[in-house]
Amino acid sequence: MKCLDGKTAVVTGGSRGIGRAVCLRLAAMGALVVVNYVSRPDAAEEVVDKIVENGGKAEAWQFNVAESSEVMAAFKDIAKLAPVDILVNNAGITRDGLLAMMKEDAWDKVLDTNLKGAYLCMKAVSRAMMKSRWGRIVNISSVIGFAGNGGQTNYAAAKAGLVGLTRSAAKELASRGITVNGVAPGYIDTDMTRGLPEAVTEKILAEIPLNSLGTPEDVAAAVAYLVSDDAGYVTGQFIHVNGGMFMG
Ligand code: NDP
């Protein structure tokens, strides 16, 4: 018997990077995993195939977390498959630029995907979770949401917004047996950070006491804890997985 047997988890942005590692980890714990993606069905299907190969259960599900109508329709269909017990809001993008030059579109896209997307998905699952009097929600923020970063005002605002969203929802939903927590990763080796120039990566490494980038699996381990029964008395909290670069 695995600890998430009989539970269903939706992981937004589950097709690549951190989300992919979270999907594999939750499936290994016994959950049926819905692997959400927006533009890469090939990547989502690879995750599903890997889970099934390992003896787990998974479905790929396309929707844009930033589009209210798509989120509502998707969660309505997912509920026909099984009630959602676990939601991991992981989908995220960056559109970096200096504040004085930042186009409104870069601001809107980042806020809509990283912050509004989490709100829409939480809204979509919360009523059913309240009814079943059990639920786990984990929001993936970032070290940038706590420490700030020049050139990322939009991303930092979205990720800091997730902190307020998480803590407020934790207070609202606690009496119904639902915990709402977050993970704040530092610099993790994924497609998002692989595009950075070598000099930037070197500079970042110099600021990390543990002297390496993190792995998606490092973040997935924190999510695994937060959705487990061991974390039943933990809500409104953030686990920092950042090699010591920020101690919040
Ligand atoms: P990647 O760029 O590797 O993957 C992003 C994932 O999000 C993909 O699965 C992508 O789907 C999905 N996605 C993007 N936009 C949408 C959308 N509108 N609707 C649904 N899915 C979407 O990112 P990471 O794995 O690096 O990051 C995952 C999360 O962790 C993000 O929230 C990020 O901000 C956060 N984070 C990452 C850090 C890092 O160093 N990598 C550090 C701190 C936080 P598709 O494959 O279809 O494109």
Q: Which atom of ligand 1 lies closest to the CA of 14?
A: 9
When pLDDT is cut at 50, 70 and 90, the band that residue 44 belongs to is very high
Q: For position 196, what pLDDT does the model report? A: 86
Token digits for 47?
Answer: 């995750």
Ligand 1 atom 32, closest CA: 92
Annotation says 155 is catalytic:
yes
Instruction: Provide φ and ψ at 243, rounded to 5°.
Output: 65, 10
pLDDT tens, position by position, 11-41: 999 999 999 999 999 999 999 999 999 999 9
Q: How far apart are CA 222 and CA 22, in angstroms?
A: 9
Residues 43-64 have a mean pLDDT of: 98
Is the CB of 242 inside a 6 Å radius of any atom of ligand 1? no
pLDDT tens, position by position, 143-191: 999 999 999 999 999 999 999 999 999 999 999 999 999 999 999 999 9
Ligand 1 atom 41, closest CA: 188
Is the CB of 74 inside a 6 Å radius of any atom of ligand 1? no
- Pocket probe mutation, ligand 1, options 90, 152, 213, max atoms within 8 Å of Cβ: 90
Contact 226, 4 (CB under 8 A): no
The whole-model pTM stands at 0.98
Edge-first strand listing for the sheet containing 32-37: 57-62, 32-37, 8-11, 86-89, 135-140, 178-185, 238-241
Q: Which residue has the tokens 């390992």?
A: 54
